[in-house]
Structures are given as structure tokens and as C-alpha cells.
């Protein structure tokens, strides 16, 4: 009988798994993929420890955590005195808590020596684990677009020469990698983000929409746009507000619900945040509604209240959970014609695509069209939910991952 291979799913994100109420999409995705042990494969997950785990009942043999030991605290206190440029040169990154976390992962991998390691997100961690345990088979799970732009030539070469497999949450990085290396000798697969349909679809309710809108003094026939995510310049939040202000001056009143909190962002831009808040207060005080951070189980109320969602990334976009969850509620999206958005949105069918050049003007034109043709949203709503059911359920993605791993073996 062949030996059961031990596969470690290692999170480069500093969020704990099993996920807690504040967890974004990646921890939830890793948890889904890890719960698929077979006779030939046993999965374990490595993530950062969080105090919320004290109150959770979970399999401590499957979910391993880098805990805040006395050594870690001492190491962190030393690192806090080291200049950023030196930390960057030595480790490849300069955030102290990331250095401590990744060094803890290295110690764990040296001790456990798993058969296969799948590293999620951070390429510097992938490189370190390849060097720490070169006898393991290493798979990198890239969770963005523009592979070469993100990694650079040297890292691409390292990936090609050291990886035993490559996963991505959109098609374009895989296509890019195959263009760079036409004779690629390891398997690849696109594992999109996914949704558990009954987490949201069984809560689609017009009555709930009306109740939620009343919280903000909104009427059932008010036109409501929604955005959830980082409050950053690259997400074109100011351009969204400016477009709404332009429509206001033309006599078209549009409301915007914004879900997000700068307090939990990894690299917050305080100046930009103050800029958009001041703009909203000065020009759209009764139209822009800041909801703050929303836990995952409360997002369905937010999605219910929307006529349309917007995702206006300027530079890159992977496979947005906000986009997928919004579509799963039967709410169409306006998204920039970039990255993973191009793979999710069919223009005029389940949403609209706009060019990243002059986002504000393109958004204004699209909103004017939608407001004048609101009946079209009903058909697009049906298409949005249908698309998710056919392409982005948990079961579909878990099956793809399991097939990849079985073929990999």
C-alpha cells in the first residue's frame, strides 16, 4: 500500500485559519481546499496564530499556527530597531510581523518536512520554503494578475526551475507563464475563488432590501450603488464619488453604500482616506453612506440593498470575492476592463466593463445609461446568479483542486 502524502497549505497572508469573523477571502478558500483528505493525500494548514482561536473548536492536528513565543517576541523587539532598508535587503521584505511569521514557518517546515508544500500569495515565502526543504515538491498559488510585472524576471526563473506545479485564481497568469516558458514541465490549473451559494442566495429578499435601505433613509426606488473593499486610490473611490456628484448636478440622485474600514487595511493611505471622506461630506453628505467594516455573515444584507456594484481597480485585479459574492446575490457589476474582471464579467450580460482610461467619465456614461434603462438590470440579475451557479460554486472549485492534486500525484 502506498504511503499517504502529507500536503501543507501555507498561507503567506497574516490571517488565521480556520477563519474568524474578520477574515477575508483567502483564509476561507484555504479552509475549503484543506477539507478534502483522501486515502493518498492528507492536508495540513499553516497560518498565523490569532487570539480568536481560543474560542474556536477546530482540528489542531490539521490547522497549525505560528504562535507568539518568547523567542518571537524577543526577535520582534530586535527587528524593530533595525532600519527598514536592512530588513528589506536581508529578508526581501521589511514588515517586522511578516518577518517573524515567515521565520516561524521556516522552523516548522524544517521540523515537519512534508511531502508537498503549496504556498499561497507571497513569493518570497515560496522561495524560502523551497530552500528550507528542497526535497519537497513545491507548488506556488499565485493570487493576482500580471505575473511578470509582479514577480520580475529573476523570480520567474526561480519559479520555472524550482516549482513542481503552479496554481492561479485567474487564467491570465498561467497563459503568461506558458508564453514565457513554452516547454513548461509542471502542471498548472486555474482555481477561481468561489462562493457557497446558500450563504447568500437563500437570503435574496426584496423585503430585506427595503428594511436595510430604511437604515439609511433610502426608498425602495432609490438607485443604490455598492462598493466593498480597500479605501485606496487604486480602487478609484474618489472617481466614484465625483461621478455621483456630476449626476447630482444633472438632477440624477444616486446613493452609494461603502463597506470597508481603513483601520484594518495592511497599508492604509490616511491622506487619501481623508480626501474622499471630506469630498463626501462637502458634496454628497446625504448620498454617500460609510458602513465601516462588515463581517462576512452580514454582507448579504449589504448586497441585497444594491441595484449595482462597482469594482473600479486601476492597476490590477485578481479574482475579487466582492465581485463574486455580489453576482451571487443577483446583483450586476460595473468593473474596469482589467485583470480577473475580464474573466468574470461579460459586458452587457451579467454586468458592464469600462476602460481604465478616464474612469470617472466612463462610469458616468454607464450610470446614465443604466438609470435610464433600469429594466435591463432585471435580466442581468438573472444572468449574474446563473453565471455563479455554472462557474464559481465551492463544489466546482474543490473538484478542480482535487483533480489537480490527483493528477499531480
Cell match 515560496: residue? 126
CATH 3.40.50.11930 domain position(s) in the chain: 5-194+393-408
Percentage of residues in the chain having pLDDT higher than 90: 69
Quick one: average pLDDT of 185-210?
82
Residue 64 pairs with which residues in a beta bridge? 46
Q: Indicate left, alpha or beta for 134 from its phi (over 0: left) and psi (-120 to 50: alpha).
A: alpha
Q: How far from chain centre, in Å, is Cα 189?
A: 18
Would you state the pLDDT for residue 144? 85
Please state at what angle helix 237-249 crosses helix 270-283, rounded to 10 degrees: 10
Query: How many contiguous H segments (helices) and E segments (strands) does the chain have?
Result: 18, 13
Half-sphere exposure of 364 (CA within 13 A, CB side): 15
Residue 195 pairs with which residues in a beta bridge? 393
Would you state the pLDDT for residue 265? 84
CATH 3.40.50.2000 domain position(s) in the chain: 197-391
Residues 6+ apart with CB under 8 A from 226: 256, 257, 258, 259, 302, 303, 305, 306, 308, 309, 310, 326, 331
Nearest to 343 by CA among 309, 386, 391: 391
The answer to whether 248 and 364 have CB atoms below 8 angstroms apart is: no
Cell match 492528507: residue? 42
CATH entry, 197-391, from 1.10.10.60, 3.40.50.2000, 3.30.497.10, 3.20.20.105? 3.40.50.2000
Quick one: average pLDDT of 118-135?
95
pLDDT digits (tens, 9 = 90+) for 34-80: 998 888 899 999 999 999 899 889 999 999 999 888 887 888 888 88
pLDDT digits (tens, 9 = 90+) for 346-377: 999 999 999 999 999 999 999 999 999 888 89
Residues 6+ apart with CB under 8 A from 214: none
Report which listed range, 36-40, 93-97, 270-274, is most confident: 270-274
| Position 315 pLDDT exceeds 70 | yes
Q: To the nearest whole number, what is the mean pLDDT of the chain? A: 91
Please state at what angle helix 84-91 crosses helix 96-112, rounded to 10 degrees: 20
Distance CA 92, CA 390 (A): 41
Q: Does the bond joining 236 to the residue before it have cis omega, within 30 degrees of 0?
A: no
Q: How far apart are the first and last CA of the chain?
A: 15
Q: 38 phi and psi, to 5 degrees?
A: -125, 180
Residue 6 pairs with which residues in a beta bridge? 42
Would you state the pLDDT for residue 267? 84
| Position 2 pLDDT exceeds 70 | no
Q: Indicate left, alpha or beta for 121 from its phi (over 0: left) and psi (-120 to 50: alpha).
A: left
| Position 290 pLDDT exceeds 80 | yes
Would you state the pLDDT for residue 200? 64
Nearest to 227 by CA among 161, 299, 146: 299
Residue 119 pairs with which residues in a beta bridge? 10, 140
Distance CA 18, CA 27 (A): 7
Distance CA 394, CA 339 (A): 22
pLDDT digits (tens, 9 = 90+) for 211-257: 999 999 999 999 999 999 999 999 999 999 999 999 999 999 999 99
What confidence tier does 202 reach under pLDDT thresholds 50, 70, 90?
low
| Position 167 pLDDT exceeds 80 | yes
pLDDT digits (tens, 9 = 90+) for 14-32: 889 998 877 777 888 899 9
Residue 141 pairs with which residues in a beta bridge? 120, 167
Percentage of residues in the chain having pLDDT higher than 70: 98
Would you state the pLDDT for residue 327? 94
Scanning 8-163, the segments in alpha helix (DSSP H) are 25-34, 70-79, 84-91, 96-112, 123-132, 147-151, 153-162
Would you state the pLDDT for residue 398? 92
Query: What CATH number was assigned to the domain covering residues 5-194+393-408?
Result: 3.40.50.11930
What confidence tier does 396 reach under pLDDT thresholds 50, 70, 90?
very high
Amino acid at each position: 500500500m502506498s504511503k499517504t502524502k502529507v500536503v501543507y497549505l501555507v498561507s503567506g497572508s497574516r490571517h488565521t485559519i480556520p477563519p474568524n469573523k474578520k477574515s477575508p477571502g483567502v483564509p476561507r478558500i484555504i479552509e475549503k481546499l484543506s477539507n478534502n483528505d483522501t486515502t493518498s493525500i492528507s492536508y495540513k494548514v499553516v497560518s498565523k496564530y490569532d487570539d480568536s482561536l481560543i474560542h474556536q473548536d477546530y482540528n489542531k492536528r490539521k490547522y497549525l499556527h505560528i504562535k507568539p513565543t518568547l523567542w518571537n517576541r524577543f526577535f520582534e523587539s530586535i527587528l524593530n530597531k533595525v532600519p527598514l532598508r536592512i530588513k528589506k535587503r536581508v529578508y526581501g521584505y521589511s514588515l517586522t510581523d511578516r518577518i517573524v511569521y515567515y521565520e516561524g514557518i521556516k522552523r516548522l517546515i524544517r521540523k515537519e518536512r512534508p511531502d508537498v508544500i503549496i504556498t499561497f500569495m507571497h513569493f518570497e515565502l515560496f522561495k524560502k520554503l523551497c530552500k528550507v526543504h528542497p526535497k519537497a515538491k513545491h507548488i506556488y498559488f499565485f493570487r493576482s494578475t500580471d505575473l511578470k510585472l509582479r514577480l520580475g524576471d529573476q523570480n520567474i526563473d526561480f519559479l520555472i526551475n524550482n516549482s513542481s506545479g503552479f496554481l492561479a485564481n485567474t487564467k491570465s497568469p498561467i497563459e503568461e507563464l506558458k508564453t514565457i516558458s513554452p516547454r513548461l514541465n509542471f502542471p498548472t490549473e486555474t482555481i477561481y475563488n468561489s462562493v457557497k451559494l446558500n450563504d447568500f442566495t437563500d437570503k435574496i429578499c426584496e423585503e430585506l432590501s427595503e428594511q436595510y435601505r430604511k437604515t439609511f433613509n433610502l426608498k425602495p426606488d432609490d438607485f443604490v450603488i455598492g462598493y466593498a473593499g480597500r479605501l485606496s486610490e487604486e480602487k478609484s473611490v474618489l472617481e466614484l464619488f465625483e461621478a455621483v456628484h456630476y449626476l447630482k448636478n444633472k438632477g440624477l440622485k444616486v446613493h452609494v453604500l461603502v463597506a470597508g474600514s481603513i483601520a484594518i487595511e495592511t497599508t492604509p493611505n490616511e491622506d487619501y482616506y481623508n480626501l474622499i471622506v471630506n469630498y463626501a461630506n462637502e458634496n454628497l453628505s446625504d448620498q454617500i453612506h460609510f458602513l465601516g467594516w462588515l463581517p462576512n455573515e452580514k454582507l448579504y444584507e449589504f448586497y441585497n440593498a444594491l441595484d449595482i456594484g462597482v469594482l473600479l481597480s486601476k492597476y490590477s485585479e485578481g479574482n475579487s470575492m466582492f465581485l463574486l459574492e455580489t453576482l451571487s446575490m443577483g446583483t450586476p457589476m460595473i468593473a474596469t476592463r482589467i485583470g480577473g474582471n475580464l474573466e468574470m464579467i461579460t459586458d452587457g450580460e451579467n454586468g458592464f466593463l469600462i476602460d481604465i482610461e478616464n474612469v470617472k467619465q466612463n462610469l458616468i456614461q454607464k450610470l446614465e445609461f443604466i438609470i435610464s434603462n433600469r429594466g435591463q438590470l432585471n435580466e442581468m440579475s438573472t444572468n449574474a446568479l446563473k453565471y455563479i451557479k455554472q462557474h464559481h460554486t465551492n463544489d466546482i472549485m474543490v473538484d478542480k483542486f482535487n483533480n489537480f492534486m490527483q493528477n499531480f500525484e
